[in-house]
Each structure stands twice: as C-alpha cells, then as structure tokens.
Amino acid sequence: MATDIHRDLKPLGVADPDAHVGAVRVRDLNKSFGDHTVISHLDLDIEPGEFVVLLGASGCGKSTLLRILADLDRDISGSVVVADARAVSFQAPRLMPWKKVWRNVVLGLPGKPDRSRAEAALAEVSMTHRSDVWPKVLSGGEAQRVSLARALVREPDLLLLDEPFSALDALTRLTAQALVADLWALHQCAVLLVTHDVEESVKLADRVLVMKDGVIAHEARVDLPRPRDVTDPRFVALRAELLGHLGVGVH
C-alpha cells in the first residue's frame, strides 16, 4: 500500500522494509540542484493520522521535500516510502480554469465524473453553491477551499499542503486554518503542512519540525488541547521557542 519513489535505494537495516510503514518514511534523503545541496541526509517518519507541520524560512528546502513526497521530483538519492493514497494542495489552488468547479473536484478519479461525489466533497468545505461556476470567478479563499475538496475527495492517507494559506488575507486565513483542522479530524489522514507561519504551526500540529539548511534542525511535540488558544501561556512559550530556532529572537 505504499509507493517507493527512491532512487539509489539503501538498505534500511530492517528485515522486511515494508514493516511498520506509516504514512511517510524517509531515510537518508539527499537532493541537490547542481552544486547546491537542498536536502542532506534527511530522515522523516509520519505516523498514520498524524498532523506534522514543516516550518522553515524561504529556501530551506521544505517545499522541495514536499514535492519529493508528492512524487513530483524523482531526481533524488536515498529512500522515500509514502502512502499510495496521497493528495496535494498547493499554495496556488491550481484549478483547471476550463473545467467547472465540480468537474475540477473529481478530475483524475477513475470512471465517469461523478457529480454527487463532487458535491459531497464540496459540502465539506461549504462550497456546494459554487459547484457550477468557472474557477476564475472564485475568490482566493473559495478557490483554496475547492482545492482542498479536490484533495480530500481522493480519501488520502496522506495529505500534503504546501503553504495553502499564505496567499489568503488574514481573516480568510483564520477560517481556512480552522477548516483544515476540522477536515483533518473528520478524515483522520496524516497531514504534512509546509509553512513559514509559526503561529499556524503551533495551532495545527501534533509535531512541528523546523527545517534549516536541508536538515531537520529541531522537533517539537505540541500536546496542547484542541482547539488551541493563542493566548495560552504554553502556546506563547512554544511559539517563542520555535521562533528562536528559526533564528528570529523575540524579546
């Protein structure tokens, strides 16, 4: 039930390499563009149903890692095993402008486009009323919701989110974050969310990984009860700690 997208497979030191595979298992992953190393000797495990946020400054390799997990980049060395049922939602919604919203949602699913299935997925993101319009008339937040519905209709074991809120205005972003939290609770899929927003990471994650210079430089578990309160002192402390690891001091 998992796809190997490794090149240069190295033995993992386990008798059965498929034993105890979670949603993601990465061993000794290396990726470089020419002479420039973006990811070096990276290990990563994501348990089924776990919400992991990958935090980092621009250019730290976090988006590259997500692209590798999405099987969009195979020019790597090391071993990457990811769940077969995975879905991606990008920073830009990337809807096909020539397909009505509902057809976008079910695009790529086997069989005939199933409108009722599309509408059920759109209902989860409160977008049923827009199912028959062209994507170009949607607002940024609406398009992002449709993009989420398109990912979730595939019933993924692993949902990859690449800065899905960064292009949204502040208010829309809060709503969208709450929506993702609800959908995750509903679908119980593993999530890897890439972002540079520390508050967002503490709000959503079971585990926050700070990526720096191609390696995971810091890891923090977030055990706060959900929904999380940004004014909770533990929340504030964790946020400060993570900011510190990102090299942004708060005084």
Q: Which residues lie near other proteins (CB under 8 A)?
A: 70-72, 87-88, 90, 92, 94, 96-99, 107-109, 134-137, 150, 154
Residue 81 or 159 with smaller CB distance to other proteins: 159
CA distance 198 to 181: 16
CB of residue 147 vs other proteins: minimum separation in angstroms?
9
Nearest approach, Cβ of residue 116 and other proteins (Å): 19
Give whichever of 99 and 115 is closer to other proteins, judged by the CB atom.
99
In angstroms, what is the minimal distance from the CB of 44 to other proteins?
Answer: 19
Q: Judged by CB, which is closer to other proteins: 84, or 229?
A: 84
**Which of 159, 198 has the CB closer to other proteins?**
159
Closer to other proteins by CB, 94 or 207: give it. Answer: 94
Secondary structure string (H, E, C) spanning the chain: CEEECCECCCCCCCCCCCCCCCCEEEEEEEEEECCEEEEEEEEEEECCCCEEEEECCCCCCHHHHHHHHCCCCCCCEEEEEEECCEEEECCCCCCCCCCCHHHHHHCCCCCCCCHHHHHHHHHHCCCHHHCCCCHHHCCHHHHHHHHHHHHHCCCCCEEEEECCCCCCCHHHHHHHHHHHHHHHHHHCCEEEEEECCHHHHHHHCCEEEEEECCEEEEEEECCCCCCCCCCCHHHHHHHHHHHHHCCCCCC
CB of 220 to other proteins, least distance (A): 29
- Return the number of the residue (14 or 137) whose C-beta is nearest other proteins: 137
For the CB of residue 151, give the shortest distance to other proteins in the complex, in Å.
9
CB atoms within 10 A of CB 98: 10
Which strands sit side by side in the sheet containing 86-89, from one edge to the other? 86-89, 158-162, 190-195, 51-55, 207-212, 215-221
Q: Shortest approach of other proteins to residue 12 CB, angstroms? A: 26
Task: Report the nearest approach of other proteins to the CB of residue 94 (Å).
Answer: 4
Residue number with CB closer to other proteins (61 or 135)? 135
